[in-house]
Amino acid sequence: MTRDLPPVPDPAAQRPAPPEADSPPPRPPRPKKRDISGWIVLDKPVGMTSTHAVAAVKRLFHAKKAGHAGTLDPLASGLLPVALGEATKTVPFVMDGRKAYAFTVAWGEETDTDDAEGKVIARSDERPQPEMITELLPRFTGTILQVPPRFSAIKIDGERAYDRARDGEEVELKPRAVTIDRLTLVSHIDDRSLFEAECGKGTYVRAIARDLGRGLGCYGHVSALRRTRVGPFGLAHAVTLNAIGEAAANSGALNDVLLPVAAALGELTHIDVSRGDAAKLARGQAILIRGRDAPIHAGTVAVTALGHLVALGELENGELHPRRIFNLQPRS
């Protein structure tokens, strides 16, 4: 006859359970991305890249989409128009606009970047007199041929010129036609001169400084640069990152810094249509523009309905074809 033996205790079961490891606190939920549309004209500080500036504005507003209208070098300060949401559809109209700059040229040294961040590649003890500079300026106004800086965003065989230059490659860029409407000597002290310039798309202020220095036989580079106008936007529209942050934290102050999408389209002909025609445009259908008030115009127009921007279209022989449709929410 067998007896049932008592169960053998499990030593592991008698050991106290190890204390639970401290778990990290739960992460706060990410703020929801917002459908926000309009233009922020940032007064970019020196030392910040354009990409960083756009990312900062986008982060402050938790915006879904953002872009900028024209790169501004880290050395430069001034206007960097940032497009949010539907405003990104109007970026080309700002980038193609005229630009204005105030910049200082330091004489006596040429650098490989044509600004103060680069390595000195040529020196001269010569210094220009104001009358020498003024006499040379007409050669740099109107439509001229300009060789872009080696450290520029121009692509060579699909690669940025500045990437090739940083890798030590010899970068050869071809001259391009650019238009400089105005170039003025504002002041001159010792080895530095302050200029103001108004120019078209594709003009490099750094190249102006480089070529002025070569023309004067003394070399030169940009030591300070501030952009004061981009297309329809001037210094009166500029806001700082601090002001943007305050407005982003207070939705009631949003309109203090956010310009409407249509602010980029001031130079276009504006056509107001009925709500029914706006609906047709939104479906991709062309509409007829007839009557006494029909504009005598061919080309791109901005289309509004009840005062709200609805589309960009091409007008030809009285027929309006939609090209870009805007999905804008009413602004508070």
C-alpha neighbours within 13 Å on the C-beta side of residue 128: 28
**Structure tokens belonging to residue 161:** 């010129």
Parallel/antiparallel/unpaired status of strands 220-230 and 233-234: antiparallel
Rounded Cα distance between 154 and 222, Å, is: 19
Q: Is 114 a catalytic residue?
A: no
- In whole angstroms, give the CA distance from residue 54 to residue 103: 23
Q: How far apart are CA 251 and CA 255, in angstroms?
A: 8
Inter-residue contact 257 to 145 (CB < 8 Å): no
Active-site option among 4, 22, 35, 73? 73
Which amino acids are annotated catalytic? 73
